[in-house]
Structure formats: structure tokens, C-alpha cells
Amino acid sequence: MSRAAKRLKPLVYVILGIYAVITFVPFLWALSASFKSMPEIVSGGMHIIPKHFTFDNYRTIFRQEPLFTRWFLNSAIIALSVTAFNLLFNSMAGYALARIKFPGSTLMFYSILGMIMIPGQLTIIPSYLIIKELGWLNSYQAIIVPMAAQATYIFMMRQFFINFPRELEEASQLDGLGRFGTFFRVVLPLAKPALAAQTIFIFMGAWNEFLKPLMLMSDKAMFTLSIGLNTFKGQYISFWNYIMAASIIMTLPALLIYIFFNRFFVQGVTFTGSK
Amino acid sequence: MSKRAGNNRLREAAAGYGFMSPAILILGCFLLLPILYAIFLSVHKVNLLGEVSYKFTGTANFERMIDDQRLWIALRNTARYALIVVPSQTILALVLASILNMKIRFRNFFRVAYYLPTVTSSAVLVLIFMWIYNTNGLLNFLLEKVGLPTYNWLGDPSVALAGIMIMNIWSTAPLFMVIYLAALQDIPQSQYEAAEIDGAGVWQKFWRITVPQLKPVTFYVVVMGIIGTFQLFDQSYIFSAGSGGPNNATLTMVLLIYQYAFKNLDMGYASALAFMLAVVIMLITVIQRFFFREEKLN
């Protein structure tokens, strides 16, 4: 390493450290508020470690807000179903586009590429009218079904299967497994890295989705956490201790998924570019 | 023999459609159909009360945009937002990625840590920042400590958009950092070694090799940043409780569309706005793809 680079080293760590602090402070500040009592927050004490550490905020939002648990469950049901359907449907479609020759496959591939470029804002209003016409407003399927397959990840799976070694499939076909058997017993189990990358993005996308539940769910019992939090804010104006406790609860599942699947993250980001 | 081959082909086709059918069904009903429906809506006046009815109005919805004061406010906000946020987050992302690309300790820790805001929901991030921005909040406390003026970040129209900008630079830069980081690892090490032999220093290497090599990625990041600006919704909705206030300071394009569609129930005009927005975004994407491909071929 050159001398100039060596001289820069301490500076580099200082910059990295400062930026780590900038990243963490908002989260720590929220976490700290979630363990503070209301009087402590009002008194304006600006210390990050609560003076009187309390779990009351968490207890209150779960016990006195019966809908909070419901919102959590709604979010979980929606995010888990969306993830499961996407893993299955996107992989199936991606595999067909990569491996199976059938009339119209090229057209479908280019249609998928085109769909990736369509901004979601274009379809917000018509989707709402279609879902309303189906009588799905205030139901889980209103969010789950339209999100159950996504063009971006179909393309991603197609690229994955294109580079997948053919020999394994040929061997299993010789063993008498058909296309479906080969796919479910041989191909899918070996596609774990691609599936993991998909899991992170799709779960987080569904868990954090804001606009769809906002327009499709008007019944409070069908709110997801993201919408619920927003109502919560209106209801408990300046009760920041409750609002922050609820925010922490909402962050945890996505955070756990991120930590758990972290090593698949980078390849996913560089592939999809942007969420 | 030929019959068997034909059978085989038939079986393959059946398998192909079988595998594709869930995706075709979902994307057909909830993506392709809505696109056509959106175009239909944008040239109609839609009456939602009672039985839904449509009245063809030709280009009336589009002509109405010219005199729509709030549309121009939203566009002005978008432009102001893009002018500050896109360069800031791009430079920040490049700097962080370049540093993380050096041989440093705890590199993975920093990478994982910096990425944290990107995995957090926008609803949560906005609430955390509102808590920090409130008049007796952490930000004003820190500003006061160092002798800077404090603001009513949520209620003062002159700084409300700035509050969203700061938050979004903070939460989006790490995403682009990861993209830069991947691109940095693709730059051949031999180029740097050759430059070192020629006596190039750290800065020279950065300006002469890194920055030019990253040009296509930078272009991509900037374009994505601009598109993200046009698509801004959650943040301004939560900040302003859906109003785009104070005094329209946080009004964005998508928030405007949402208000026309779901507050005024003017689905036709809202669809026309969404259509224009989509056309602009797609044009930007196409231009970016075009240049990106050119760069790759060279």
C-alpha cells in the first residue's frame, strides 16, 4: 500500500464511524423512546438511555389496543402469502421461459421485460376499480392476489435457470420424472440462493407496502401495520413512547429476515437495481 | 417416430403453459388489463356514485392539466426535491462505496449497518423522523446546542420538504452504495496497478480510473434517483396526513393523483395524470437503457 493511502487510513475509519452513528442514531433514539415513560419524554430529557426503563409502552399497545395485534397478524398473513406465491409462481414461470420451448414463449419473455418497465403508479386506479368490482375490498386477497407474481422476479429466475446445469435435469428425466417432477424434486431444491434473494425483497416489499392497503382497506380491522401505524399516530398525537414502541415492533420482522438472509442481499440488490 | 416427436412437442407445450399459467393469469388480470383500463379511464369522465358510468371526453382531462395550479406546485416540489436529493444521495453513495471498497477491517459490519434504513418500512422511518423533527425533538435540541437556528420542521412550509429530503437522502443512499460497491469490484485491479507504477496517487486513481469506469452505473443511479423522486408518495402522505401540507409544501405527483382519485373521486382526471407520469418515467427508463447498452458495447 502506498504511503498516501496509509496516511488516509485513520481518516477513513473516522468517516465510516461518523456515518455509522448517523445511520444508527434515529433507530436508537426510537428504541430509547419506546422504553421511556410519557413523563420522561415530556420533560424533554435528551438522554439516550432511559432513566426509568419500562416495558409499559409495549404492554399498552398490545393490551389496550386490541386492533394492534390484529394489524400485526394481517401484515404477517399478507406478507407470508405473497412471499410463498411469488416463490412458487415466479420460479415456475422463470423455469418455463428458460428451459421449455412452447409456442409464444419468446413473446411472453419480451412481454415480461416490458412489464418490468411499467411504473406501478399507472395501474393504481384501474386495479382499485377491478378489485372493487370483484368485491374484494377489505379482504386479504385484494392485496395478495395482485401481488402473487411479479415480472421483475420472473426475469430474475429465468436468468438463474438459464445458467443452471442441464445435466441434472437430463438425469432425472431419464429416471422417468416428467417436467413437473423434475422441477419440484430436482430444480427447485437447488435454486435456494435465488429463492433466498427473492424472499427478502418480496417479503419486505409486502410487509412495508403502504399505498395498496391504504386504498384497499377501509375497515380498521383489515388494516396492515403500516396503515395502522399511521392511524395510531393520529390517535396518540405526541404519545411518542407508544408510537415508537409500535414502530419498533413493525421493524423487527423485516430486520430478522434481513439479518438471516443477509448474504443473499447484495446479489439481489445488484440484480434488481432498485426495489 | 414423427408421431412420437409430435407428442413430445405437445407435452412440452402443455408443460410450458402449465408452468406459465399462474403468472399469465395474475399479470394479465392485474397488470395488462389495468394498463388498458388506465388508458380508457384517462379519456373518460368517470362517475362512481351509484352505478359506475363513463362519459367519453377525449383530451379534456389532459387539457385540464394546463390550468391545474396544484399540478404545477407538485411538479415544482418534485423538481426542487430532485435537484437536491439526487446529487446528494449519488455522491454520498459513491463516497461510502469507495471507502468500503478499500482494504479495511469490519467492512462487512459497516455494509450491513449502513443498509439498515433501506429495509425499514417508510411508515416507520417517517414516524421516527417526525419524532426527531418535532419542535421539542432531537434535531432542534442538537441545532440549539451548536448555536444554529431551530425550526418547526413539520409545520413550517419553508422547511417541510427539506425534512423529507434529509430523510430520503439518508435512507436511499445505502441502496445505491450497494450498487456502486458491486460495480467497483468489477473494475480490473490491473488498471490500478498500472497507474501505481506510473506514480498515480489515491486521488488521481479515483478521478482517472474509478469515476470514468463508473460512468454507466452513475448514469443508472441518477436515473433511478430521478424516477424515485417522481414516485414519492408514502413519505409525504404520512408527514402531511394526506394533505400535502403545510401549504402544499410536501405535495408530490403521486400524492396529487391519490387525492384526485380517492378524495375527489375524480378517477378519470387522476388516471390521465397517472398516464402522463408513467409516460415520463418510461421515457426516462428507455433513454437510460439505450445509453447503458451503448456503454456496454463500447
What pLDDT was estimated at residue A275?
Answer: 36
Contact A269 B120 (CB under 8 A): no
- Say whether pLDDT at A188 is over 80: yes
What would the pLDDT profile of B4-17 be if each residue is shown by its tens digit?
777 888 888 999 99
What would the grid cell of residue B46 be? 368517470
Question: Closest Cα of chain B to A93: distance in Å?
Answer: 5
Most B CBs within 10 Å: which of A13, A46, A86, A124, as the mutation test of the B interface? A124
B-chain CB neighbours of A12 within 8 Å are 99, 102, 104
Nearest residue of B to residue A154, measured between CA atoms: B23
Contacts across the A-B interface (CB distance below 8 Å): 268
What pLDDT was estimated at residue A5?
Answer: 62
The alpha helices in chain A, defined as continuous H runs, are 3-34, 38-42, 56-63, 66-99, 105-117, 124-133, 140-144, 151-162, 166-174, 179-182, 188-190, 192-208, 211-216, 225-235, 240-260, 265-272
Most confident of B25-34, B118-127, B183-192: B25-34
Asked if residue A271 lies in contact with residue A260, where contact means CB atoms within 8 angstroms, the answer is no
- Say whether pLDDT at B36 is over 90: yes
- The closest of A146, A150, A89, A86 to B30, measured between CA atoms, is A146
The alpha helices in chain B, defined as continuous H runs, are 2-27, 33-42, 60-66, 69-100, 107-114, 116-119, 122-133, 138-145, 157-186, 189-197, 202-205, 211-213, 215-230, 234-239, 253-258, 267-297
pLDDT above 90: percentage of residues in chain B: 63
- Say whether pLDDT at A2 is over 60: no
Cross-strand bridge partners of residue B54 = B46
Q: Where are the domains of chain A?
A: 1-64, 65-272
CA dihedral A181, A185, A191, A195 (to 10 degrees): 90
Q: Where are the domains of chain B?
A: 2-61, 67-297
Contact B241 A234 (CB under 8 A): yes
pLDDT, mean over chain A: 89
B-chain CB neighbours of A183 within 8 Å are 19
What would the pLDDT profile of B182-223 be if each residue is shown by its tens digit?
899 888 888 888 998 988 888 888 899 999 999 989 999 999
- Say whether pLDDT at B129 is over 90: yes
Identify the band that residue B297 occupies on the pLDDT scale cut at 50, 70 and 90: very low
Asked if residue A248 lies in contact with residue A30, where contact means CB atoms within 8 angstroms, the answer is yes
What would the pLDDT profile of B233-257 be if each residue is shown by its tens digit?
999 999 998 898 899 999 999 999 9
Identify the band that residue A108 occupies on the pLDDT scale cut at 50, 70 and 90: very high
Asked if residue A83 lies in contact with residue A143, where contact means CB atoms within 8 angstroms, the answer is no
Of the partner residues B34, B182, B237, the one whose CB lies closest to the CB of residue A126: B34
Asked if residue A244 lies in contact with residue A57, where contact means CB atoms within 8 angstroms, the answer is yes
What would the pLDDT profile of B73-100 be if each residue is shown by its tens digit?
999 999 999 999 999 999 999 999 999 9
Residue with cell 435540541: B141
Transcribe A223-272 into DSSP letters.
Answer: --HHHHHHHHHHHTTT-HHHHHHHHHHHHHHHHHHHHHTGGGHHHHHHHH
Q: Average pLDDT in the A199-206 region?
A: 92
Q: Who wins on pLDDT, A51 or B169?
A: B169
For residue A220, give the DSSP letter.
Answer: G
What pLDDT was estimated at residue B288?
Answer: 84
Burial of B263 (0-12, 13-18, 19+ CB in 10 A): exposed
B271 touches chain A (CB under 8 A): yes
What pLDDT was estimated at residue B125?
Answer: 95
- Cα distances (Å, whole numbers) of residue B41 to A125, A137, B29, B59, B64: 9, 20, 16, 11, 15
pLDDT, mean over chain B: 90
- Say whether pLDDT at A81 is over 60: yes
What would the pLDDT profile of A215-263 be if each residue is shown by its tens digit?
999 999 999 999 999 888 888 877 889 999 999 999 999 888 888 887 7
d(CA A98, CA B205): 41
d(CA B65, CA B43): 13
d(CA A93, CA A87): 10
Question: Closest Cα of chain A to B67: distance in Å?
Answer: 22
The CATH number, out of the four listed (1.10.3720.10, 3.20.20.100, 1.10.472.10, 2.40.50.140), of the domain defined by the range A65-272: 1.10.3720.10
The count of C-alpha atoms lying within 13 angstroms of the C-alpha of A35, restricted to the half-sphere facing its C-beta, is: 12
Domain B67-297, CATH homologous superfamily name and number: MetI-like (1.10.3720.10)
What would the grid cell of residue A230 be? 399511521
A82 touches chain B (CB under 8 A): no
What pLDDT was estimated at residue B53?
Answer: 87
A79 touches chain B (CB under 8 A): no
Window from A143-147, A165-169, B122-126, B164-168 with minimum mean pLDDT: A165-169
Q: Average pLDDT in the B261-273 region?
A: 94
Q: Average pLDDT in the B124-145 region?
A: 91
What would the grid cell of residue B151 be? 425550526
What would the pLDDT profile of A16-71 be if each residue is shown by its tens digit?
999 999 999 999 999 999 999 888 887 766 788 888 888 999 999 998 888 999 99
What would the grid cell of residue B63 be? 387539457
What pLDDT was estimated at residue B257?
Answer: 96
Nearest residue of A to residue B30, measured between CA atoms: A146
Contact A92 B281 (CB under 8 A): no
Predicted structure pTM score: 0.90
Asked if residue B130 lies in contact with residue B239, where contact means CB atoms within 8 angstroms, the answer is yes
Contact B121 A233 (CB under 8 A): no
- List B residues 164-183 in contact with A (Cβ-Cβ < 8 A): 170, 174-175, 178-179, 181-182
B15 touches chain A (CB under 8 A): yes
DSSP helix/strand/coil, B54 = strand
d(CA B234, CA B175): 18
